[in-house]
């Protein structure tokens, strides 16, 4: 994947109260893997907040970790967001293309005495950390190089000269005000020994120069925020508003991981989930609007507010997501599902013509919870030779029903009204004429048509298969019975 040139951004609004009045949010993933469920919810909240307020949603790829960032991961993230319908108004910007700008800002702080060179080795830092812990102190950098006025050298880093007195208050739109004592915040590294800016510094520069007004992100970033606020102030930037969203936990109250189920957005696509089901589920993880459970995209945009986001962690419930997916499958058109199914049919499935496939989908969509389940349940429609489940054949394809099945195969070509209603009348008349109850022929007929004992309604299946297939399958079942009893 080729990184496009970043779109223009406003670099003029650096000092004073110049923050744009238009609300601008951003999603800034690192391209080091797939889009995680937690990241997807963060992107969704940012997208909804900007859309609700008539603002703009910016996408920025934070790819300064050159060892772990890949084009494949970038593409996976963009594909996941596109699948979920989270369109962006600007971007994607690529942070790695902005490194020279970040370095200029590092030098600006050095020139103004707000940052300094540090030559402490990793071994020295580890010794300092252990000593602080032994003494019962917080293991922060002790400021060894703070006032030495050192010059850059191979392996040296740049540290931000943090405030040593006073407090920094994070005015969180979800959690409320959070106070931090400045003397507990160490002098953070803002440029690594390889010359690349650190996350905490680059994100401040990019958010400020892209006029981001609201930073909505996971609450694992809360402790970064006071440090970032001090950097905004040191650089003369307006400080954006912050909102930290509680984490998503598994049913055991541990941080969501693979043991709780799939964590990748696109894994859910592959498992046969519809994007609107995942979006609806994720937005309800920590946000509510009364007792309403199911929302249209229009309703989500209309109702979404940060004030309705809870302060407690949300618990991921796969069964609830599955229920929502079943609902959206039932509500979807057969044309829409046929399109979604294109990559989900098992290899070798001859799905036939489009109209037939849509009829199959209509039969099954009220009965399945995922599109993968639909693909599996549809197999008997598309096969030329039914494979009978062993127990079903032993119980229902028996000599006692062979004559009834043969008579039915002979009568079906004369049925004029081959519809659900017409077949209901035909089956009723057939049982009366043969002086049998429908249950005598129902399961044998079902097994003849599908190979199993559980399926959509017999009349629905017959209509979808059509006369020729129905007659062929019934005759094949009669032949099976005859062969089994020779």
486: tokens are 């020779």
Are the C-beta atoms of residues 278 and 97 closer than 8 Å to each other? Answer: no
| DSSP classification of residue 211 | T
Q: How many CA atoms lie within 13 A of 183 on its CB side?
A: 3
Query: Do the strands 157-160 and 115-118 form a parallel or antiparallel pair, or are they unpaired?
Result: antiparallel
Q: Do 88 and 81 touch, CB atoms closer than 8 A?
A: yes
- Which distant-in-sequence residues (6+ apart) come within 8 Å of 458 by Cβ? 423, 427, 442, 445, 446, 449
Q: Which of the residues 22, 130, 258, 428 is marked catalytic?
A: 258
CB 198 within 8 A of CB 191: yes
Phi and psi at residue 457, in whole multiples of 5°? -60, 145
| Residue 154 tokens, joined | 């191979």
196, 66 contact by CB (below 8 A):
yes
Residue 151 known to be catalytic? no
- Distance between CA atoms of 94 and 98, rounded to whole angstroms? 7
**Do the beta carbons of residue 380 and residue 414 sit within 8 Å?**
no
Question: 14 to each of 90, 237, 239, how far by Cα in Å?
Answer: 20, 5, 11
DSSP E strands in 161-263: the ranges are: 167-172, 176-181, 189-191, 214-218, 241-245, 248-249
Our measurement of the distance from residue 450's CA atom to the centroid of its chain's CA atoms, rounded to an integer in Å, reads 35
What is the 3-state composition of the chain as percent helix, strand, coil, each rounded to the nearest 5? 50, 10, 40
The encoded tokens of residue 213 equal 């007004």
Range 304-317 burial, b when 16+ CB lie within 10 A, else e: bebeebeeebbbbb
- For 428, what's the count of Cα atoms within 13 Å in the CB-facing half-sphere? 6
From CA 250, how far away is CA 254, in angstroms rounded? 6
Please confirm whether the linkage preceding 265 is cis (ω < 30° from 0): no
Catalytic machinery residues: 258
């Amino acid at each position: 994947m080729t990184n496009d040139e970043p779109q223009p951004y406003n670099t003029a609004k650096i000092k004073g109260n110049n923050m744009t009045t238009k609300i601008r949010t951003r999603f800034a993933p690192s391209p080091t893997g797939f889009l995680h469920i937690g990241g997807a919810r963060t992107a969704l909240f940012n997208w909804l907040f900007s859309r609700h307020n008539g603002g703009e949603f910016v996408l920025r790829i934070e790819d300064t970790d050159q060892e772990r960032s890949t084009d494949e991961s970038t593409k996976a993230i963009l594909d996941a967001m596109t699948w979920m319908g989270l369109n962006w108004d600007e971007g994607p910007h690529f942070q790695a293309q902005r490194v020279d700008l970040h370095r200029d800002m590092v030098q600006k702080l050095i020139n103004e005495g707000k940052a300094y060179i540090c030559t402490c080795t990793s071994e020295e830092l580890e010794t300092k950390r252990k000593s602080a812990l032994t003494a019962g102190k917080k293991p922060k950098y002790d400021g060894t190089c703070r006032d030495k006025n050192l010059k850059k050298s191979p392996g040296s880093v740049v540290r931000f000269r943090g405030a040593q007195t006073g407090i920094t208050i994070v005015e969180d739109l979800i959690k409320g005000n959070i106070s931090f004592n400045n003397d507990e915040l160490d002098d953070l590294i803002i440029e690594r020994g390889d010359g690349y800016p650190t996350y905490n510094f680059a994100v401040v520069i990019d958010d400020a120069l892209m006029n981001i007004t609201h930073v909505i992100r996971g609450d694992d970033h809360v402790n970064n925020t006071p440090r970032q606020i001090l950097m905004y102030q040191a650089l003369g930037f307006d400080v954006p508003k912050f909102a930290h969203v509680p984490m998503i936990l598994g049913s055991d109250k541990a941080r969501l991981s693979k043991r709780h189920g799939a964590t990748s957005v696109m894994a859910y696509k592959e498992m046969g989930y519809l994007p609107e089901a995942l979006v609806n589920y994720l937005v309800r993880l920590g946000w509510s609007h009364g007792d309403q459970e199911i929302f249209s995209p229009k309703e989500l945009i209309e109702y979404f507010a940060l004030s309705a986001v809870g302060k407690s962690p949300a618990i991921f419930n796969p069964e609830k997501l599955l229920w929502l997916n079943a609902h959206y499958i039932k509500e979807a058109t057969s044309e829409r599902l046929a399109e979604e199914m294109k990559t989900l049919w098992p290899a070798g499935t001859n799905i036939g013509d489009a109209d037939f496939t849509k009829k199959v989908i209509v039969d099954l969509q009220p009965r399945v919870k995922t599109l993968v389940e639909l693909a599996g349940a549809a197999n008997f429609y598309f096969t030329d030779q039914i494979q009978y489940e062993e127990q079903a054949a032993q119980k229902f394809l028996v000599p006692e029903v062979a004559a009834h099945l043969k008579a039915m195969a002979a009568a079906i070509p004369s049925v004029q009204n081959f519809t659900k209603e017409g077949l209901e009348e035909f089956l009723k008349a057939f049982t009366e004429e043969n002086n049998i109850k429908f249950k005598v022929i129902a399961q044998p007929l079902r097994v003849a048509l599908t190979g199993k004992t559980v399926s959509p309604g017999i009349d629905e299946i017959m209509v979808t298969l059509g006369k020729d297939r129905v007659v062929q399958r019934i005759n094949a079942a009669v032949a099976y019975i005859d062969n089994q009893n020779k």
